[in-house]
Structure 1
Amino acid sequence: MSIKNKLNRLKGHLGTEKDKQPTPAKVSKNNINVPFKEVWEAESVYPYYFEDSYCLVREKEYSLDQMHGIYSFGQFTAAVEAWNSSDIKHPLSAAGHRPENLFFFDTETTGLGGGTGNTIFLLGQASLHGNKIKLKQHILPHPGAEVPLYKSFLESIDYSTMVTYNGKAFDWPQVKTRHTLLREHVPKLPPFGHFDLYHAARRMWKHKLERIKLAAVEKDVLGIERKDDIPGFLAPMIYFDFVERKNPEGMLGIIKHNEIDILSLISLYTHLSFQIMQLDKKQTPREVYEVGRWLSTLGESSQAKTAFNKISEGESSEALDARFALAFEHKKHKNWDEAAKLWKDIAEKGLMNMKLISCIELAKIYEHRLKDIGQAIMYAKKASNMMKDNSGGETEKLKIKQEELHRRIVRLERKFNRN
């Protein structure tokens, strides 16, 4: 922003009412030189002018038939429709929304840290417009052009829910930080709902992925293979080189990287939605189990039991885990006989920690619910013996103390003798 325009803004604070009338900028956009403009135009990038500065904007459209990994963009609309037909209460539910209400958002920055020293140089978004997915990317040509960058971005968003990948912790706080520095010159940040898919991906696939980076989820879950992609850690260096030399060659690679990130969010939201609603016919037993656990923590007990029952037959690790989890669902609803039946099975077949917990739960049920003190003593002693035999092993992680079990046994024996 020029000194002249800054002074014009200050006139309202210094002079008369006449002085307070807004003074239009007198710099013509035709006088602003955009380096390598023809190269940008060939890549569907055009300048967005504001006063004596500009940012760059790229727009691209995709048909709903186009595939991105294992999903077409049209299946995103099917996922939103499925949520609107579902009675599952879930943090990622799009119930009450139309597909057009969601926008998928990602940034590129000069560093991974927070604070005012970190600059966003690319704001990317995509959403459904009619029968197309429309991508729009706002590019910072140099650090002094943040006002047109954010003005361009904020003028083009009108949605109720933002979808990101780790955006709650990184992208959106960064936007808010930069916006605070510019808020007198740009529109307000609108309020949004926020679907952060990072935490969902971590919950669903931490059993198979060492790191829950978006690129890993793309490759191992969504079937998306990137070709000639620029690694994200190189983006700041490439951007600084672009600021110095103005040549967009390297920046075009970052723009493509950001484009794939955003499109992958659409496929990932679709996949997570189908997983949670159990509409994915290729869903693995472990994924079904993780969905059941997630629904259970949300209080969706009926849906959780449906998931656990689906994989509870047999002796696989997923089946045993499902039966173990089902016992706790029955406990929540005071179905003591059903819970005891499942815990008896796990006490014989499960892993050591599952056996131990099952025996303790059985001791509680037989003492307080089924009123069979003899069985309660038997399972309490069985748990105590397990702890002695596995001292320093898996049982140490459960924070169950031998002294507590001993006190339970003493109390049960005293109660048994009184009877």
Structure 2
Amino acid sequence: MHELTAGSRRGANRRTRRATAAILPSIAAAAGTKLPPLTPLARLPRSRRLSIPRLVIDLPLELTTTVPESFEDVTSELSRLIERPRRHTTPPPIPRPTPVPMRARTQTQPSLVGDWQLGCELGRGGMGAVYAVTHREFGKRAALKLSHTPLDGTSLGAKVFLREARVVQLIDHPSMPDVFATGTHEDRPYLVMERLRGETLIQLIERGALDRRRAIDVLIDLCDVLAVAHEAGVIHRDLKPDNVFVLEQAHPLGTRTKLLDWGFAHLLGEDDPFHGMIAGTLSYVAPEQVLGAPITPATDLYSLGVLTYLCLLGQSPFAGTTGVDLARRHLHAAPPDPALLWRDIPKPLAQLLIAMLAKEPLCRPTLEEVRATLVATRTRRRLFTLRQGIEPLARPSVAPILRRTLGAATAIACAIAGAAAMLLS
């Protein structure tokens, strides 16, 4: 059904009159009926239009009614409305729904989860919320991540929580988060982990607090933890600055970086529960993730390349106005020459950035090669250019995939999969 508004006013608009006179008779002719002569038509507000499939006509109309599917009924309704006496009353305003505050839509925060007393909310995402907590008996302070959805066998968010608790125990490295308790609250799973002090990498980038020397230190830490993860058969596949946490104080073993959110990790040799979906963030996914091809350690190398490009050059190598456009660029577009954004970039580092963003996984360097180039860049005598900061960045416009509700996640994954099929055809 289409919406039709009818009426007329003084001061008819010539363009509207000509368009209406030219188009409406052809509609009536197609239906085998005759359209009565039209009275002069006045200026139409932009908000009122006659919408016909593949055709939009501006009409100066006041009354609103529903147009039936048949053309004969359309012309009959037009005739009735056009012959009505002119009215100069102002149409009533269209009622608008009252917006509901975001906080009112969220679930009520419990005061106690297991043995943990909840404090302030530290963060919130599509899968769950993170709270500052204190153990009610021992007084230990920690962070608790509580799922939005219950563990009912079909909830994707709850499965991600349980998967993260398992994965972090497989990787022994100081840059891994320490998860030391799990449980359920009202059938919703939760994780209890160490409470970190510092900022995420995206926060540092956005406020211009990340110089190149510090960025290289963070990237070397990521190479180290990813190498241990890959050796254990675990691929993160959701590497992005939101998931990288930079500590205020260095770990006793020297690292100042934590790699978070392992719930979408792929375990080599096991069935992938996210098969057919893009389990990652579209700004950082590798081409094989878009195509649904097998996931390998080289997948993390591509995401690390996007992250390295962003940290050292101040912008992402690929940007798109839509998700499909961004996916197409990951598949086909070449990244901009790093020397255009950093004039004095060391040549080996520039070559490394391009190689990390290779479309074919086998053409990408190894983590050992990436780390060696970063260390060599950091230890060069002339590092004055590394101390120059980068401009504060706007947050990537494309939102993370699978960080919304399950319904939205499935819809987006299907849309991207369809787009990838069209790109290959």
User: Which range, TM-score by smaller chain?
Assistant: under 0.3
Give the structure with the larger helix fraction: 1
TM-score normalized by the length of structure 2: 0.24
